[in-house]
Amino acid sequence: MNPEKAWYLIYTKPREEEVAKTNLERQGYTIYLPLAYQYRRRHHKREQIIAPLFPRYLFIELTQYLDNWAPIRSTLGVSTLVRFGMEPAVVPGDLVEALKARVGPEGVIDLTATVGFKPGSRVRIAEGGMTGYEGIFLATSSHDRVIILLDIVGKQVRVQVDAAHLEALTPH
C-alpha cells in the first residue's frame, strides 16, 4: 500500500453495494467490499447466503490530494462519501487488513464459525429438533459441526449439532 493512500468509507444506496463497487472499479478506484456467509429465514427454512458484512458500506482507497474525488458521489450505486464534519472519514488501514485476513478461500468471511465458544462454555440450541436444550460446548468436530454435552433425563449425552444452531448463554 502506498504510504500516501488511506482507506475511506462510502455509503451506498440500499442493496446496491455491488453496483457501486463495479462502477467505482471501472473508474479505476481500489474498492474493498467485505462479504460474509450469513443465514436468513425464508419460508420457514434457514438458508445460507453471501451478503455484505456491513450493509450499505464499502471501503475505497484514495490519496487525499492526488486522486480525483469528484466522480465518486455521482457514481451509480453511491449515496455519499462518509464524513465527520467537513473531513472524509478515514478508516484505519489495520482494520481493513484484519478483515481481509479473515477471508476464506471463496473470498468470503465465515461468521458461522464457532468463534467465541470455548470448551466449557454454556450454550443453547436455538434451532432444529432439539431447540431450547442447554448444554456445555465441548469441541469442534468438523467444518460446520460441534460437540456439546447435554443433560437429557438425568444422563449426560454427547451430541453433534450444526455450529450455526448454537447461541451462547450468559453466565448467571
User: Under 8 Å CB-to-CB from 159, ≥6 apart: which residues?
Assistant: 130, 135, 147, 148, 149, 150
pLDDT of residue 34: 94
Q: What is the pLDDT of residue 138?
A: 85
Supply the mean pLDDT for the chain: 84
Return the top range by mean pLDDT from 6-20, 59-73, 112-126: 6-20
**Separation between Cα atoms, residue 118 and residue 1, nearest integer Å:** 36
Beta strand 155-162 with 145-152 is antiparallel
Q: Decide: 96 and 57 in contact? Cβ < 8 Å.
A: no
More confident residue, 101 or 113: 101
Sign of the CA dihedral running 110, 113, 117, 122: positive
Q: Which of 65, 11, 57 is nearest to 32 (CA)?
A: 57
Q: What is the pLDDT of residues 22-39, one digit of tens each?
A: 999 999 999 999 998 876
Across 44-48, 78-82, 145-149, least confident range: 44-48
Residue 140 has pLDDT above 90, yes or no: no
At residue 56, the pLDDT reads 94
Taking the mean position of all CA atoms in its chain, how far away is CA 89?
Answer: 21
Contact status, residue 2 vs residue 74, Cβ threshold 8 Å? no
> Is the model more confident about 99 or about 80?
80
pLDDT at 116: 61
**Residues contacting 110, CB < 8 A, separation 6+:** 36, 37, 102, 104
Amino acid at 29: Y
Residue 53 clears pLDDT 80, i.e. is over it: yes
Identify the CA nearest to 10 among candidates 51, 71, 65, 66: 71
| Whole-number percent of the chain with pLDDT over 90 | 33
Higher-pLDDT residue of 79 and 156 is 79
Q: What is the pLDDT of residue 74?
A: 94
Helix spans in 27-122 (H): 70-73, 93-101
**What distance in Å separates the CA atoms of residue 164 and residue 172, rounded to the nearest whole number?**
23
